[in-house]
Structure 1
Amino acid sequence: MTHLDHRYDQLIDDLKSEYRPQREWAEGRGFFLIVGHFLVGLAAGAWLFGLGFEDSFALLSGWLLAGLGGLAHLVNIARPERALRMMTRFRTSWVSRGFWGLVFFMIGATVYLVTLLAPAAIGGTDTIIAQAAMALSIAGAVILIGYMGFVYTASKGIPFWDSNLHPVLYMSYAARGGAAMVLLGLAFGAGTGIDAEILLELWLTATALAAILWILEIQGAYASRDDAAIRSVRDILSGRLAFAFYAGMLLIGLLLPAVLIAGIVAPLSSAVMGTVALASVAGDFFMKYASIKAGRYLPLRIP
């Protein structure tokens, strides 16, 4: 069976299903959309935390991750000229706003990093250029974090995504990812002078908020009594995405870091903090993978 035959058979099966799973943003090139959203969200969080803690490792990581996230988005849309067309619709499209946010971020972050790492080139971080670049990068990061949540909430045809909690959930994961990247820097010897206890408290706070929001999202889907939303939740809890949820989100993303932070396996050290950071980041990816892939369309009703 050829790839086209498989896609055709899959389409027929989906059309036979009353609650068709969305595949455009999850399979084939669509998988790169998940990767792109994961990377730019992590990048924005890392950049904001890097600025807050004056951590060069987090700043460089955020810049690099944002660039990779932009490339993943381009792979997803396949043709770069589509991105240019999308960017003209910023008044009505969150996708367009997301692209602009990435442009602002990359320009501002690049200039700011030059002033930070090579101050002899255009002056240090106290110059007007550096401060303007930092402001532009912060604006871009905030837009990126907001765009990821609102772009799904705007998809009214997929009830599971149509939740007012979605934007806040993505904000909490951006904060969790940002704290994780600074923790990772500590594991590599960066971030001299950063208080690890304060950083861990911030990570735990963001993690607790994300967990509460996830519970509320699931409860909200059941409370809505919308069959499409309920099927999406069942896909996550006991269906095709259960492995990503239990092994990826819960085991790797929550349980493993909790055990390590508690000191059950080993005393808290740079290596342990690095492992916590990597496990946290991996869990965040599985969260986005599961929540995006779980989307199911409202059924077509022909009068």
Structure 2
Amino acid sequence: MAQGFNAEFKCQREFGWLLSLWLFLSGTGCALFALFKILDLAVFFGLLGLGTVVLGGVVLLLELGSPLRAWRGVLRIRTSWLSRGVVFVCFFVATGFLSVAPAWAPGLPWTLSGPAGLVLGWIAALCALMIVLYPGFWLAKNRSIPFWNTAWVPALLVGYAATGASALILLGSGHWSDGRHAYDLLAAVLIVLSGVLGGLYLLAMQRAGGAARESVRRLNAAPLNWTFHLGVIGVGLVLPLVLVLWVPSAQSLAAICMLAGGLLFRYCLLTVGVYVPPALVQEGIDFSRLNRTGTDLQREYAA
């Protein structure tokens, strides 16, 4: 069985910048809308969240390559997280816009603070949460890429989505001085949370061995090491945390750094996804027992 068997690890090449940008826009926009409801922010932030998600949908259509076939995405709702995501997005956009519509159309039979407006807004917020989560569930379901096949991925995407949303709040809150300090503290807490989650995730993947460890190795090796260490960690986490806590006049710069780091994080997460052979996935092989060259596998199955 081992004769001619190749267990070399290879990185996926299907997903790149477009999918990273979609994950960034949809996650950040939905988290912003959820925080708009939770923190009772100005309507501007609700509209900004909705617009960001719509822009993310356009990016996803470009990634799919056949926008006119996008309607087929709902046909596998019982088995596919992507299909469920399409439904969540449709409900989110519809209920979200209806919930904030009274802000510019006062003649509507419901108001922002009325029962109908509140119900629509919280339905949209619930859909927003699911939109943040479902890409993580979709990636975690992929057993052929152990670096994604873990519950850490949905948790990380939620953390980074909330961090990006807090960055947009920092950028927009310059027009509303009340509560600015609270937004700074929120951003700092979310930056630390994202950093801790990321560190625990990489530690877990390093200990898992096999393809997961190989993904961590590639993350810390050229050519991606500069993007990860300088972009994700330095620019995306450390610098904005310092600015938010100790340089109040540089909050806008901190927010821009947080957004840039969030986009680069998603790109790194996708880029270092290392495949294991499909036949091994079907057989339920313990991937942590494989080394980079497949020697261990060949020895085990030579008999």
Task: Pick which of 195-204 and 162-171 moved more.
Answer: 195-204
1:231 to partner: Cα distance: 1.6
Higher RCO (CA-CA < 8 Å; seq separation 6+): 2
Partner of 2:8: 18
Alignment of 1:210-225 (within 5 A): 210-225=194-209
Deviations 1:216-237 (CA, angstroms, capped at 9, x unpaired): 11111121122x1112111111
User: In the alignment, residue 115 of structure 1 is paired with which amino acid?
Assistant: P
Q: Does 1:243 align with 2:226?
A: yes
- How far residue 208 of structure 1 moved from its aligned partner, in angstroms, is 1.4
Aligned counterparts of 1:121 and 1:192: Cα–Cα separation in 2: 31
Matched-pair contact (CA < 8 Å) for 2:207–2:213: no
1:111-147 per-residue CA deviation (whole Å, 9 max, x = no partner) reads 1221233323444213343223212211220111111
CA offsets, 1:186-237, max 9 Å, x none? 13x1x353x12222222222221211111111111121122x1112111111
Shift, 1:167, TM fit: 1.1
Quote the residue 1:268 is aligned against: 248
Q: Which residue of 2 aligns with 1:33?
A: 19
User: Which residue of 1 is the match for residue 186 of structure 2?
Assistant: 202
**Over residues 224-267 of structure 1, what are the superposed CA-to-partner deviations in whole Å (9 max), with x where a residue is unaligned?**
122x111211111123321221221112111221231243xxx4
TM-score of the pair, normalised by structure 2: 0.84
1:142-181, aligned counterparts within 5 Å?
142-181=129-168
Instruction: Tell me the amino acid that sits aligned with residue 201 of structure 2.
Output: E
For the pair 1:294 / 2:272, whether they are aligned, the reply is: yes
Q: CA separation in 1, counterparts of 2:231 and 2:60?
A: 23
4+ aligned runs moved over 6 Å, structure 1: none
One of 277, 284, 291 as aligned partner of 2:255:
277
What is the TM-score when the length of structure 1 is the normalising length? 0.84
**What secondary structure is seen at the aligned counterpart in 1 of 2:75?**
helix
Gaps of 5+ in 1: 1-15
SS in 1 for 2:132: helix
How far off is 1:300 after superposition?
Answer: 5.2
Corresponding letter in the other structure for 1:22: Q
Q: Return the alpha-carbon distance in structure 2 between the equivalents of residues 132 and 261 of structure 1.
A: 34
1:57 to 44, 55, 59: 44
Give me the identity figure in percent: 27
Taking a change above 3 Å as real, the CA distance of residues 54 and 117 of structure 1, as seen in their structure-2 partners, is farther
Gaps of 5+ in 2: 1-5, 281-300
Whichever residue aligns with residue 222 of structure 1, its letter is Q
**Helix, strand or coil for the counterpart of 2:274?**
coil
Confirm or deny: 8 A CA contact 2:28 2:161 kept in the other structure.
yes
Paired residue type of 1:108: T
Paired AA for residue 221 in structure 2 = S
User: 1:36 touches 1:73 (CA, 8 Å); kept in 2?
Assistant: yes
Letter in 1 for 2:186: L
Matched-pair contact (CA < 8 Å) for 2:160–2:194: yes
Q: 1:44 corresponds to which residue?
A: 30
> Alignment RMSD, CA only?
2.0
Pair member with larger Rg: 2
Amino acid aligned to 2:244 = I
Equivalent residue, structure 1, for 2:293: none
Q: Would the aligned equivalents of 1:49 and 1:182 in 2 still touch at CA under 8 Å? A: no
